[in-house]
């Protein structure tokens, strides 16, 4: 039985192009980012966030056309000359339905940012869930999301932002309504309401009178001395991807609609995206910016570098230097790891360097992140940590050049031993992955996360139109046996 069926649409205006809809053959979910190409990749189309590709090339009208079908983490099972593909008859005002098998454990849902999120659906005259399906805030490309609930809304921050005729390198932000309180269900989409400038473009939210790119690392909320909830951001300023020349804490001015610098911090290391989460220990509330770095949930602590602690095996006060790693060992040579003020943390990649040089044993590492099935190193980098009520564990999403891994631990600091690959992107990158705990469903059984889909730092040979350098949302069911088996 062929997986394609051409459907007549006599009620549709003759100007409506032929369109193809691709759905997950197991769940029926419409699949975005599916490439449909004619033989030898002569002409290519991509499905939008509704799983729809408008075949708006009149050359094909009235003809049978072969389309090869491929998508990151999905497989099309029908074959044409040995390749995943099918033959359809292209007729304006009609459409074809294709089903595709999902290999990824997580489901790709929709694109959050950029232009033409539902372009093809609009061309086909189909309903779409978001208010701005073609262009929102003038944004065509947007890097790295950091987000948090704040004052009854969800506050979203992004890094470098591209537009049709403008660019911003000083942080972009938007808000959205909370699901069930005016906002869309997280499976449907996010209606972003951008802070815009006089030209209607996403405006600079942390402009500094000093040269360099300004990037927010993490967002969290702290009550100031008057008891008022304030939105706080850690940030860096740097010349491109070079080491940061400025690091600090900024606070959001609700009246001005921009962030203002609150305090400067030491530039101990380079920029790293952070997705803060709260932990209470011995009656004290902390914000963990990373699994191994925290600060007290206290207004005065923000500006005091000695209030920032790292869970580290370095000697107190030390900065990580692979050439002179000052590991803190007891007389019996065991590592003395713990929370230490004004001391550097050790990243997963740095643990691997220490192991390679014989300075750290493999069993002493906090981020082994070994493939749960093969036991091999994933080389993944920790990205986002959150408590999960369904698993009753801390869960970690980590990444490595387009792949996303799931891990869990009894403690927010780890160790993070085993990792299950939940998403893969062929030769494409998908970085700065962040879970959105405020979107959790079914008691935490279903979680949502997004990341930046980009050719940057990858082996991709070409960019995907509209999708490249934008945010894509995924959904993961923690009841999946491939996930639940990680505890074994």
Say which DSSP state 417 is in.
-
Token pair of 177, please? 């309504």
Nearest by Cα to 465 from 450, 449, 453? 453
**Could you identify the residue written with the tokens 């074809």?**
96
Answer yes or no: pTM beyond 0.85: yes
Can you give the three-state secondary structure of 333-365, one letter per residue? CCECCEEEECCCCCCHHHHHHHHHCCCCCHHHC
Nearest by Cα to 20 from 123, 117, 127, 111? 123
Say which DSSP state 89 is in.
E
User: Each residue's pLDDT tens digit in the chain (488 positions)?
Assistant: 344 444 444 344 448 999 999 999 999 999 999 999 999 888 999 999 999 999 999 999 999 999 999 999 999 999 999 999 999 999 999 999 999 999 999 999 999 999 999 999 999 999 999 999 999 999 999 999 999 999 999 999 999 999 999 999 999 999 999 999 999 999 999 999 999 999 999 999 999 999 999 999 999 999 999 999 999 999 999 988 778 999 999 999 999 999 999 999 998 888 999 999 999 999 999 999 999 999 999 999 999 999 999 999 999 999 999 999 999 999 999 999 999 999 999 999 999 999 999 999 999 999 999 999 999 999 999 999 999 999 999 999 999 999 999 999 999 999 999 999 999 999 999 999 999 999 999 999 999 999 999 999 898 889 999 999 999 999 999 999 998 767 54
Token pair of 360, please? 């750290």
- Domains of the chain and any CATH numbers: 5-106 (2.60.40.1120), 136-274 (no CATH)
């Amino acid at each position: 039985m062929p997986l394609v069926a051409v459907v007549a649409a006599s009620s549709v205006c003759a100007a409506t192009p032929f369109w193809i809809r691709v759905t997950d053959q197991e769940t029926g979910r419409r699949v975005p980012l599916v490439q449909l190409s004619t033989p030898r990749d002569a002409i290519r189309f991509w499905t939008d966030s509704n799983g729809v590709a408008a075949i708006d090339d009149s050359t094909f009208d009235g003809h049978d056309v072969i389309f090869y079908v491929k998508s990151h983490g999905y497989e099309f099972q029908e074959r044409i000359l040995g390749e995943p593909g099918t033959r359809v008859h292209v007729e304006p005002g009609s459409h074809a339905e294709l089903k595709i098998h999902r290999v990824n454990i997580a489901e790709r849902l929709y694109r959050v940012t950029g232009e033409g999120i539902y372009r093809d659906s609009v061309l086909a005259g189909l309903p779409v869930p978001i208010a701005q399906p073609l262009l929102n805030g003038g944004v065509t490309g947007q890097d790295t999301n950091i987000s948090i609930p704040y004052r009854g809304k969800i506050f979203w921050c992004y890094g470098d932002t591209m537009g049709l005729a403008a660019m911003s390198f000083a942080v972009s932000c938007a808000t959205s309504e909370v699901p069930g309180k005016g906002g869309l269900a997280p499976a449907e989409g996010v209606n972003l309401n951008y802070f815009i400038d006089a030209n209607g473009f996403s405006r600079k939210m942390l402009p500094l009178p000093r040269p360099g790119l300004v990037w927010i690392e993490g967002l969290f909320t702290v009550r100031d001395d008057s008891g008022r909830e304030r939105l706080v951001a850690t940030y860096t300023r740097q010349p491109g991807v070079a080491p940061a020349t400025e690091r600090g804490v900024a606070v959001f001015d609700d009246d001005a609609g921009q962030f203002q610098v609150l305090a400067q911090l030491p530039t101990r290391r380079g920029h790293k995206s952070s997705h803060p989460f709260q932990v209470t220990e011995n009656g004290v509330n902390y914000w963990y910016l990373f699994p191994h770095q925290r600060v007290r949930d206290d207004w005065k602590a923000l500006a005091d570098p000695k209030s920032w602690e790292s869970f580290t095996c370095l000697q107190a006060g030390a900065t990580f230097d692979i050439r002179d790693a000052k590991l803190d060992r007891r007389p019996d040579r065991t590592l003395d790891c713990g929370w230490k003020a004004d001391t550097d943390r050790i990243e997963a990649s740095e643990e691997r360097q220490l192991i390679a040089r014989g300075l750290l044993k493999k069993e002493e590492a906090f981020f082994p992140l070994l493939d749960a099935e093969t036991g091999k190193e994933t080389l993944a980098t920790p990205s986002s940590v959150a408590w999960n009520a369904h698993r009753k564990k801390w869960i970690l999403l980590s990444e490595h050049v387009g792949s996303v891994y799931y891990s869990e631990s009894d403690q927010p600091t780890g160790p993070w031993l085993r990792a299950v690959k939940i998403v893969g992107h062929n030769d494409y990158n998908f970085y700065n992955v962040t879970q959105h705990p405020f979107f959790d469903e079914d008691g935490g059984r279903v979680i949502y996360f997004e990341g930046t889909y980009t050719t940057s730092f990858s082996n991709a040979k070409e960019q995907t139109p509209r999708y490249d350098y934008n945010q894509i949302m995924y959904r993961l069911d923690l009841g999946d046996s491939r996930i639940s088996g990680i505890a074994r």
